[in-house]
Amino acid sequence: MMAALTTLQCPQCLKVFITQIHMRDTLVGKRPTLIYPYKTCNGAIPTQVVGEVEECGFNFEALQVESFDIPVKVDPNAIITKP
């Protein structure tokens, strides 16, 4: 399994995180999977009161991520085995 680093920005508080993309093998190729840094964002959002901030708490699992396959030249019959 191969992994690459990328950045992810919280859409609510705009905090930037360094995260990973894992390449997982499927029957039709490799599928990139984004690994979120946390379940919810730990960034801060300024409030109307000067000097006070509240925790962001944005749920990363609510983000919609486009999924696609990267073709690999592998014979599917070599991957699928009968019990």
pLDDT at 76 exceeding the cut of 70: no
Which of the four pLDDT bands, split at 50, 70 and 90, describes residue 74? low
Q: What integer pLDDT is reported at residue 17 of this predicted model? A: 92
**Where in the chain are the domains?**
2-79
d(CA 25, CA 2): 10
pTM of the prediction? 0.62
The 10s digit of each residue's pLDDT in 23-73 is 888 777 777 888 888 899 999 888 888 878 899 999 988 887 766 555 666
**Cβ contacts of residue 16 below 8 Å, gap of 6+?**
7, 8, 9, 10
